[in-house]
């Protein structure tokens, strides 16, 4: 290649002269710095085919190369140039090239509305925005006019942000003022302004909005406006106008769950009713939330009166026992998060910690200095510095860290206008947009900010919560006093975090009493409980249900025997105490089982002390015991209960990650299935003799059978309530030693195994075995010979869903040699199978049928749920396994990883899908631990939802109670999953 082709101008010149064909052009572009030469060459062809004023191809190419993502930028530049009606470009082509690689959302906006190119570089005018949007709201099609005006102004803010390096604080203020103008104009357009005061909370309230933030609103009616029906209808019209999805997108996702009583509360309330609610029922997190309150549109002064009334309530409450407990929860949640987390918001030392510090310190000192209360984080920091609460170094470090994290967050969200806080796997483009020379420099700076924030966090919290006398210590002293005052005792318990103090007193009195009324009172037991009480109550105060957890703790301890010994051990072993409290709170179902069957307590203690599964060793011991055991099926049932308890304990304690939890539960099922198969086979062999088959001249040979697991067990993704999908395959026809045909013999083995595992013979229920995925389904024989199995799946009779199911096939019991032959048959068949041209359409149709079965908030089958990710993954496996045999793996996360390695799915896409899948599975397993193995739906009840969220590590905060935050994360994950599913499933299978 000539020297002048190594620069953009030279390369464009050679293209124009016809010297570079497709292959040579692709190579030249790769040498220039583009990763995907063929795509880059096609984009250059588009630029040359559609010359546009101001879009000099060579300068555009230079700008693309200088930006964060050259390939994305050039691809978008080609699309923009070929868009019909593309006007002259008013900005430098180099700057445009870099911009097109920084934000796919903004690039799509320009390509979809190319006339906007002529406005590029125009600044957003926040002062003129209210009038501009007032005009848009008065348009005959107000909804469309508001959306198009918003697109223009978002483009203006993004250009100033990315291309001119606008300060991040100014970016969030501009985005917030834009939302202010839109919400106000929308309220007037739909008639809500005459009925309601509209208040902003959360990020909008603090003028801290991101590109893809939800907006939290609250509606207050003047007391004299008594027509609730008209007000509620006006509020609903406003929410619909703001959030309705159209071909041009939506204005904002509106969250109304921060209103009094949350989702169960009425949509609008009179002013007095709102203030009465907070006075009588307001919770500590609502005080934090209301610090962000700001009036967007007043009505009869109700909005300003609301802020004044709630501010007075916040000052009266101050940092009371409830608020202290709330901040302790926030601190505990922060400490539980991984230091290496990729979430810039939730990670230790991230945005959430900084906001917590500012709100905590403001509330701590507000009684003497109300001026410290502020709705914006940065302004709050400054007031804390001026007020002498933060020193200059702490202020400077918090401010720098906050601006750094918010800049990262903004850049992550402007890319696709998707609500995310997770750092991508490939951080190169982000580092470039942040102005850092390389990933190592960026990550080093990130960790330094986190370390400094954590230091400040720990310093101020340690000063506020020293290990001194408190309510829990008072409880300890009162337990030792036989003439204690019950009222003082109950007040101390209430201050320690119990809602039902009288009930808590009775529980502790039972815990101090002998387990039998025939035994004398033990002062040693009372003393041991009094020594344990402070640590026990401190731990239970952080529980989702402290009262219920205390009751279950007492009932679990009752069956142990010498309770004073247990109390003393728990006092000295904080890990064991923590895990017992976690079990009492996190799994009422398992805690009740432990209380009713104390013999399981040894397994519980072993799980805590070893921190490892040890399942294989215990399985060997089980097999050895079976020889002398009168009922090995009871032994298997005990084995399952012990191992399930051990896994759940380690799961609750975060000792193992979600993939390991699923794998342990799957292997437990496989262990029991394999052992049960061996028991049944041995019994029938004794009765009928060894089966054999005819092999031509070689005579008779032993006949065998295997059990294939499909579905969750086959994919090593079983949960606490999974049944097992199985298929039985035998080696062939023949007969047993006493003349029973092989088909009958192996069918009896399968039938007996199904019955025994399902508890149909009067024994314990272990697992339900579902055989409907066998050839021909329920109409086919229970056991299929290998020959018939092969013929069926090589014929047109096998349905698409049956090929899909075989992707999960795993041999779990039976003859190993036959098992390998079956797996080879499956792999060979899937590689040879020709995926239909309409594969994606048919998979979408199947998905639609599954989705129709969803009830409530179904994590698995609902819109954007786990099945979306599973179906998408399996569709891509089926489409490409013929050319990429490595894709034949059973586990969903591993399949996604291999799809990325083979270049069939973007690395960031695969990582996001895998992480989201495991997030769904983690919520699912915690749901089952808490509410029972058969639970499939997220609770609709607010208290139950909050309880689940707390058990998942969420905490109440200024952004809402824990349940609200969990639901927001689930909705965000589901919406983004469905968007990816729709986009990727719409692509051709090849």
Structure tokens at 808: 């999960």
Radius of gyration of the chain (CA): 33
For 311, half-sphere exposure in the C-beta direction (CA atoms, 13 angstrom radius) is: 18
Check residue 335 and give its pLDDT.
67
Burial of 986 (0-12, 13-18, 19+ CB in 10 A): exposed
Q: Which of 5-9, 550-554, 943-947 has the lowest mean pLDDT?
A: 5-9
* Number of alpha carbons in the 13 Å side-chain half-sphere of residue 135: 7
- The pairing of beta strand 254-255 with beta strand 215-221: parallel
* Mean pLDDT, range 846-861, rounded to an integer: 88
- The confidence score (pLDDT) of residue 823 equals 94
Q: Is residue 574 scored above 70 in pLDDT?
A: yes
Asked if the model's pLDDT at residue 613 lies above 60, the reply is no
pLDDT tier, 619 (very low <50, low <70, confident <90, very high otherwise): low
Most confident of 83-87, 467-471, 705-709, 947-951: 705-709
For the segment 770-792, the average pLDDT, to the nearest whole number, is 93
Least confident piece of the model among 221-225, 614-618, 770-774, 825-829: 614-618
The pLDDT assigned to 202 comes to 93
Res. 467: pLDDT tops 60: no
CA 660 to CA 925: how far, in whole Å? 12
Interatomic CA distance for residues 404 and 434, integer angstroms = 9
For the cut 50, the answer to whether the pLDDT of residue 2 exceeds it is: no
pLDDT band at 624 (very low <50, low <70, confident <90, very high): low
Q: Could you tell me if 717 and 662 are in contact, meaning their C-beta atoms sit under 8 angstroms apart?
A: yes
Stretch 874-881: mean pLDDT: 93
Confidence class of residue 880 from pLDDT cuts 50, 70 and 90?
very high
Task: Give pLDDT tens digits for 193-221.
Answer: 999 999 999 999 999 999 988 999 999 99
* Contact indicator for 164, 197 with CB cutoff of 8 Å: no
CA atoms of 563 and 513, how far apart (whole Å): 10
Angle at 689 between CA 688 and CA 690, to 5 degrees: 130
Host H or E run for residue 367:
none
Give me the pLDDT at residue 797, please: 87
What are the residue ranges of helices labelled H in 513-631? 523-540, 546-558, 563-572, 574-586, 588-596, 601-610, 615-626
Give the whole-angstrom CA distance, residue 150 versus residue 124.
Answer: 11
Domains of the chain: 3-119 (no CATH), 174-317 (3.30.460.10), 318-466 (1.20.120.330), 497-610 (no CATH), 655-832 (3.30.460.10), 839-985 (1.20.120.330)
Say what percent of the chain tops pLDDT 90: 50
* Predicted confidence (pLDDT) per residue in 883-914, tens digit: 999 999 999 999 999 999 888 988 878 888 99
For residues 545 and 314, give the distance between their C-alpha atoms in angstroms, rounded to a whole number.
25
Rounded mean pLDDT of 296-309? 95
pLDDT tens-place string over residues 93-109: 999 999 999 988 899 99
Q: Which residues contact 265 (CB under 8 A, 6 or more apart)?
A: 259
pLDDT in tens, 427-456: 888 888 888 888 999 999 999 999 999 999
Structure tokens at 203: 């990020």
Q: What is the pLDDT of residues 36-55, one digit of tens each?
A: 888 899 999 999 999 888 88
Residue with tokens 């129709």: 852
Contact call for residues 872 and 905 (beta carbons, < 8 A): no
For residue 4, pLDDT over 50 is answered with: no
- The CA distances from residue 1 to 6, 29, 59, in Å, are 8, 11, 21
pLDDT given at position 345: 83
The pLDDT score that the predictor gives to residue 1 is: 40
| Distance between CA atoms of residues 931 and 652, nearest Å | 14
147-172 average pLDDT score: 93
Say what the pLDDT of residue 942 is.
83
Mean pLDDT, residues 611-629 = 58
3-state secondary structure of 511: helix
Q: What is the pLDDT of residue 247?
A: 75
Model confidence at 418, pLDDT cuts 50, 70, 90, reads: low
Read off the pLDDT band of 559 (50, 70, 90): confident
Which residues, at least 6 apart from 281, have a Cβ–Cβ distance to it below 8 Å? 260, 261
Positions of E strands within 179-318: 197-201, 215-221, 254-255, 269-270, 294-297
Using DSSP's 3-state secondary structure scheme, residue 76 falls into helix
- Taking residues 669-688, report their average pLDDT: 95
Q: What is the pLDDT of residue 382?
A: 96
DSSP 629: -
Whole-number average pLDDT of the chain:
88
Q: Would residue 953 be called left, alpha or beta, if left means φ above 0 and alpha means ψ between -120 and 50 degrees?
A: left
Tell whether the model's pLDDT for residue 865 goes beyond 90: yes
Mean pLDDT of 688-704: 77
> 938 pairs with which residues across the strands?
857
Distance CA 522, CA 789 (A): 69
Average pLDDT for 476-481? 84
Helix (H/G/I), strand (E/B), else coil: 741: strand
Q: What is the pLDDT of residue 178?
A: 97
Cα–Cα distance for residue pair 106/249, rounded to 1 Å: 13
**Tens of pLDDT, residues 644-667:** 988 988 888 777 889 999 999 999
Q: What percent of the chain has pLDDT over 70?
A: 93
Q: Calculate the dihedral angle through the C-alpha atoms of 647, 653, 655, 659, rounding to the nearest 10 degrees.
A: 60
Residue range 504-542, pLDDT digits in tens: 999 999 998 876 554 455 678 888 898 899 899 988 888
What is the arithmetic mean of pLDDT over 328-338?
70
Q: Give me the pLDDT at residue 695, please.
A: 61
What is the average pLDDT across 922-936? 86
What is the pLDDT confidence band of residue 3, given thresholds at 50, 70 and 90?
Answer: very low
- 476 pLDDT band, cuts 50/70/90, is confident
| 3-class secondary structure, 814 | strand
Mean local confidence (pLDDT), 252-257: 92
């Amino acid at each position: 290649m000539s020297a002048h082709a190594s620069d953009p101008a030279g390369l464009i010149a050679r293209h124009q002269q016809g010297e570079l064909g497709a292959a040579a052009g692709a190579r030249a572009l790769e040498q220039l710095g583009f990763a995907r030469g063929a795509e880059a060459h096609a984009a250059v062809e588009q630029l040359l085919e559609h010359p546009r004023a101001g879009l000099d191809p060579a300068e555009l190419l230079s700008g693309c190369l200088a930006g964060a993502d050259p390939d994305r930028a050039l691809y978008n530049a080609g699309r923009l140039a070929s868009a019909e009606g593309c006007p002259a470009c008013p900005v430098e082509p180099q700057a445009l090239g870099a911009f097109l690689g920084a934000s796919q959302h903004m690039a799509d906006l320009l390509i979809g509305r190319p006339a906007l190119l002529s406005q590029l570089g125009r600044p957003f005018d926040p002062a003129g925005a209210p009038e501009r949007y007032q005009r848009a709201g008065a348009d005959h099609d107000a909804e469309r006019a508001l959306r198009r005006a918003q697109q223009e102004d978002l483009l203006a803010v993004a250009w100033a942000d990315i291309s001119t390096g606008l300060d991040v604080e100014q970016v969030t203020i501009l985005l917030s003022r834009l939302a202010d103008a839109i919400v106000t104009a929308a309220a007037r357009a739909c008639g809500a302004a005459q009925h309601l005061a509209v208040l902003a909370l959360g990020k909008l309230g603090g003028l801290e909005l991101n590109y893809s933030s939800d907006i939290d609103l609250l509606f207050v009616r003047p007391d004299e406006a008594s027509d609730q029906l008209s007000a509620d209808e006006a509020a609903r019209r406003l929410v619909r106008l703001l959030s309705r999805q159209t071909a041009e997108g939506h204005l904002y996702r509106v969250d109304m769950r921060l209103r009094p009583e949350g989702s169960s509360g009425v949509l609008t309330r009179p002013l007095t009713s709102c203030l009465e609610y907070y006075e009588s029922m307001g919770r500590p997190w609502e005080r934090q939330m209301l610090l962000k309150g700001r009036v967007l549109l007043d009505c009869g002064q109700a909005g300003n009166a609301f802020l004044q009334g709630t501010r007075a309530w916040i000052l009266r409450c101050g940092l009371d026992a409830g608020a202290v407990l709330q901040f302790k929860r926030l601190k505990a949640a922060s400490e539980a998060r991984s230091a290496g987390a990729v979430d810039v918001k939730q990670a230790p030392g991230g945005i959430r910690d900084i906001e917590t510090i500012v709100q905590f310190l403001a509330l701590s000192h507000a009684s003497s200095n109300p001026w410290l209360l502020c709705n914006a984080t940065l302004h709050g920091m400054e007031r804390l510095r001026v007020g002498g609460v933060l020193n200059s170094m702490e202020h400077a470090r918090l401010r720098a860290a906050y601006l750094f994290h918010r800049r990262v967050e903004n850049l992550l969200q402007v890319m696709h206008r998707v609500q995310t806080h997770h750092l991508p796997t490939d951080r190169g483009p982000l580092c470039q947009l942040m102005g850092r020379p390389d990933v190592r420099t960026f990550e080093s700076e990130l960790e330094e900010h986190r370390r400094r924030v954590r230091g400040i966090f720990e310093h101020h919290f340690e000063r506020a919560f020293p290990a001194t006398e408190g309510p829990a210590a008072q409880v300890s002293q009162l337990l030792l006093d036989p003439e204690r005052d019950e009222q003082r005792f109950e007040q101390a318990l209430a201050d320690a975090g119990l809602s039902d103090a009288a009930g808590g007193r009775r529980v502790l009195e039972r815990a101090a009493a002998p387990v039998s009324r025939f035994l004398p009172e033990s002062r040693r037991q009372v003393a041991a409980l009094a020594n344990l009480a402070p640590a026990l109550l401190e731990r239970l105060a952080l529980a989702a249900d402290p009262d219920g957890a205390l009751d279950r703790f007492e009932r679990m301890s009752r069956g142990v025997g010498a309770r004073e010994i247990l109390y003393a051990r728990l006092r000295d072993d904080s890990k064991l105490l923590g895990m017992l409290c976690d079990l009492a709170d996190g799994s009422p179902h398992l805690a009740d089982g432990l209380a009713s069957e104390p013999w399981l307590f040894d397994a519980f203690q072993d799980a805590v002390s070893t921190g490892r599964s040890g399942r294989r060793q215990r399985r060997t011991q089980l097999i050895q015991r079976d020889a002398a055991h009168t009922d090995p099926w009871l032994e298997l049932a005990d084995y399952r209960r012990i191992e399930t308890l051990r896994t759940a304990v380690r799961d609750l304690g975060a000792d193992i990650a979600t993939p390991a939890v699923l794998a342990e539960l799957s292997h437990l099922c496989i262990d029991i299935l394999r052992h049960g198969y061996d028991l049944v086979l041995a019994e029938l062999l004794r009765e009928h003799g060894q089966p054999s088959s005819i092999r031509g001249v070689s005579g008779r040979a032993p006949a065998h059978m295997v059990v294939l697991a499909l579905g969750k067990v086959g994919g090593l993704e079983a949960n606490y309530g999974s049944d097992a999908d199985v298929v039985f395959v035998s080696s062939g026809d023949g007969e047993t030693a006493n003349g029973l045909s092989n088909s009958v013999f192996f069918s009896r083995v399968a039938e007996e195994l199904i019955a025994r595992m399902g508890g149909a013979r009067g024994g314990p229920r272990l697992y339900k075995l579902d055989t409907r995925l066998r050839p021909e389904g329920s109409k086919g024989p229970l056991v299929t010979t290998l020959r018939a199995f092969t013929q069926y799946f090589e014929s047109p009779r096998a349905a698409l869903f049956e090929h899909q199911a075989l992707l999960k096939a795993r041999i779990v019991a039976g003859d190993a040699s036959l098992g390998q032959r079956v797996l080879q048959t499956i792999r060979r068949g899937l590689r040879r199978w020709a995926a239909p041209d309409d594969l994606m359409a048919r998979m979408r149709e199947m998905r639609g049928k599954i989705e129709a079965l969803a009830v409530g908030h179904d994590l698995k089958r609902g819109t954007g749920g786990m099945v979306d990710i599973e179906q998408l993954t399996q569709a891509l496996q089926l489409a490409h396994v013929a050319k990429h045999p490595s894709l034949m793996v059973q586990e969903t996360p591993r399949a996604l990883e291999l799809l990325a390695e083979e270049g069939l799915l973007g690395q960031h896409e695969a990582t996001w899908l895998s992480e989201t899948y495991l997030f769904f599975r983690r919520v699912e397993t915690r749901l089952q631990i808490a509410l029972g193995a058969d639970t499939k739906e997220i609770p609709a009840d607010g208290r139950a939802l909050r309880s689940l969220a707390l058990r998942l590590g969420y905490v109440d905060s200024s952004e809402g109670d824990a349940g609200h935050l969990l639901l927001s994360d689930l909705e965000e994950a589901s919406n983004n999953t469905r968007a990816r599913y729709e986009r990727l499933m719409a692509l051709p299978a090849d």
